[in-house]
Amino acid sequence: MAGLEHYQMAQDPAIQKLGNMTTNRHKYFRWTPRTARISFMYLVFVPTILGIVAYKTDGKWDFRAKRRGDLVVEY
């Protein structure tokens, strides 16, 4: 048992390449119509939809001190 190095694993070149690519992704990013569209969706469209839903349902449900048979909807 002495002298064996069980803690070392064989390095997979594909995993090494993926790790290197992930680390240096910011160096190779390029704005294309596809990346602009995806960025718009995540930065503008999704928060807007979530904000509208939150505004429409604000105060609609009250879960505090409700018993069986009481209505959850306030209006």
Residue extents of the structural domains in the chain = 33-61+71-75
- pLDDT tens profile 51-62: 999 999 887 877
For residue 11, give Cα distances in angstroms to 5, 25, 44, 69: 14, 21, 41, 62
pTM, entire model = 0.54
d(CA 51, CA 46): 9
Tell me what percent of the residues of the chain surpass a pLDDT of 90.
51
Q: pLDDT of 12-51, one tens digit each?
A: 899 999 999 999 999 989 999 999 999 999 999 999 999 9
